[in-house]
Amino acid sequence: MTKWTTTDIPAQTGRTAVITGANTGLGFETAAALAAHGARVVLAVRNLEKGKEAQSRIIAATPGAEVELQQLDLGTCRDRWPQPPHCSRRCSRMPTWARCRCCAPRPTRAS
């Protein structure tokens, strides 16, 4: 059995991928690989400065890549993305999510 690599990713042209934690590690590598294969990539990051650095690195490695930046802090459970107006204008169909983390409401006790 051969080992899977990012060269095995099929063409992603016409797809949108929203990657959380995209400024470092696995999130960055996922975003870079999908951008290299033609996906429109949205870097959903907590820290915009680090996100801008990641965006620049991806564009430098893949000239012409469509890489956007979206601030998103899933740790607060207040941020929501995509917002319906943004998504309906920008996405022709539901985007692909990678490393998406969901927040559940904290349980409350009845008094």
- Place 39 in a pLDDT band, splitting at 50, 70 and 90: very high
Q: What is the pLDDT of residues 79-108, one digit of tens each?
A: 555 443 344 445 555 555 555 444 444 455
Residue 79's CATH number? 3.40.50.720
**44 — phi, psi (to 5°)?**
-95, 105
Sheet of strand 40-45: strand arrangement:
67-71, 40-45, 16-20, 96-98
Residue 42: domain span: 13-98
In a domain, 108, yes or no: no
In a domain, 2, yes or no: no
Contact criterion met (CB below 8 Å) for 70 and 45: yes
Q: What is the pLDDT of residue 110?
A: 59
DSSP line for 32-50: HHHHHTT-EEEEEES-HHH
In a domain, 89, yes or no: yes
Question: Which SS3 state, helix, strand or coil, does residue 18 take?
Answer: strand
Tally of domains within the chain: 1
In a domain, 5, yes or no: no
